[in-house]
């Protein structure tokens, strides 16, 4: 008898093809988590085409609690969150795992571009074969608990192959556009989204590289470390956001290089492995979803992890995640201070 798999289906091409690939070896059921006004029509159509069961689950309350509230709180604290990391931990794996157990499924699957390999009797996400679509960064807070029942069918194929498979199957989602980075803010204007719900944030001052007052800013949540465009400031040299000062409500600007760091501190580090990590080790790290991995030396100090990078990292923003790799294999991640 085939093992039973519950796959999260957003109605996009990735999860649709992932569901198809799983049907070769498993008894597959699709579920659409209703999170933020999204619908289940495309996912239902795909499941009907594939001949597999589908159901929907209202998860708006959980999504509001674990993802949206955290997202708003972080921005209002002058930090830059990554909502996908919280969604993966609490919703796509946390809640999905709960649903799967209640309904007798053996595995939980998603359309993430990641491989999953066994190493020293544990399971680890490994960077996708096609690096341009790799999504292991957003899986950095998963543990053996979630990974022991996880499946990632897309880890070894490219996006083009995914679309080709969907076209051959005659799936209506074959040419559907990818979702935006922030799925619950379709236009991408996160500052307006927050201000519509929490009120317009107080304006403050831009402080220049020499400590000079360069005028009024629109509110701290409109800016992030490393930002250059949209500042509305004429200056003799290129300037960047180098720091947000929440206490003084100031956007601190600097010249090229001021937005870069070689030493990065992170807290609340979450390790994929249940085995203790060394107090010091060398590895690869990355500080944003789209940034490349870079060599660094890491040490633990009490409840914090400090990474010294060989090459300065651009746009290191508090609230983002410092994610560590042993080669291609995910080690874990913590929140940048």
Distance from C-alpha of 170 to C-alpha of 164, rounded to nearest angstrom: 10
**DSSP symbol at 200:** P
Could you tell me which of 138, 183, 136, 175 has the C-alpha nearest to residue 159? 175
Tokens 């919703």 belong to residue: 91
What are the E-state strand segments in 128-259?
150-151, 204-207, 213-217, 239-245, 250-255
Crossing angle, helix 159-169 and helix 13-22, to 10 degrees?
70
183 is annotated as an active-site residue = yes
Catalytic option among 47, 84, 87, 260: 87
- 154 Cα distance to chain centroid: 17
Strands 280-286 and 294-301: antiparallel
**Which listed residue (47, 84, 140, 183) is catalytic?**
183
Distance CA(85)–CA(321), nearest Å, equals 9
- Write the burial class of residue 176 (CB in 10 Å: 0-12 exposed, 13-18 middle, 19+ buried): middle
> 22-50 in b/e burial notation, b at 16+ Cβ within 10 A?
beeebebbbbbbebeebebebbbbbbeeb
Contact between 125 and 115 under an 8 Å Cβ cutoff? The reply is yes
Cα 229 to chain centroid distance, Å, stands at 23
Catalytic center residues: 87, 183
């Amino acid at each position: 008898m085939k093992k039973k798999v519950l796959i999260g289906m957003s109605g996009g091409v990735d999860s649709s093809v992932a569901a198809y690939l799983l049907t070769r070896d498993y008894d597959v059921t699709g579920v659409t988590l209703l999170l933020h006004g999204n619908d289940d029509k495309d996912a239902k159509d795909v499941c009907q085409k594939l001949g597999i069961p589908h159901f929907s689950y209202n998860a708006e309350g959980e999504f509001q609690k674990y993802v949206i509230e955290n997202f708003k709180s972080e921005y209002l604290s002058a930090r830059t969150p990554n909502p996908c990391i919280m969604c993966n931990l609490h919703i796509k794996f946390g809640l999905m795992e709960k649903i799967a157990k209640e309904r007798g499924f053996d595995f939980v699957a998603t359309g993430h571009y990641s491989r999953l390999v066994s190493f020293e009797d544990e399971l680890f996400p490994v960077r996708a074969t096609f690096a341009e679509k790799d999504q292991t960064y957003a899986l950095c807070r998963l543990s053996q608990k979630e990974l022991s029942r996880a499946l990632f069918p897309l880890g070894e194929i490219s996006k083009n192959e995914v679309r080709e498979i969907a076209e051959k199957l005659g799936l209506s989602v074959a040419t559907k556009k990818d979702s935006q980075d922030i799925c619950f803010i379709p236009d991408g204007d996160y500052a307006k989204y927050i201000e519509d719900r929490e009120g317009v944030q107080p304006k403050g001052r831009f402080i220049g590289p020499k400590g000079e007052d360069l005028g009024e800013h629109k509110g701290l949540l409109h800016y992030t470390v490393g930002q250059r465009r949209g500042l509305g400031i004429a200056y003799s040299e290129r300037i960047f956001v180098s720091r947000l000062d929440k206490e003084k409500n100031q956007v601190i600007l600097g010249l090229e290089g001021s937005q870069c760091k070689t030493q990065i501190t992170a807290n609340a580090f979450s390790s994929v492995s249940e085995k203790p990590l060394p107090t010091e080790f060398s590895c690869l790290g990355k500080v944003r979803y789209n940034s490349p991995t870079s060599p660094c030396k890491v040490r633990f100090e009490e409840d914090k992890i400090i990474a010294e990078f060989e090459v300065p990292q651009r746009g290191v923003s508090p609230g983002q995640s410092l994610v560590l790799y042993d080669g291609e294999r995910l080690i874990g991640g913590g929140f940048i201070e």
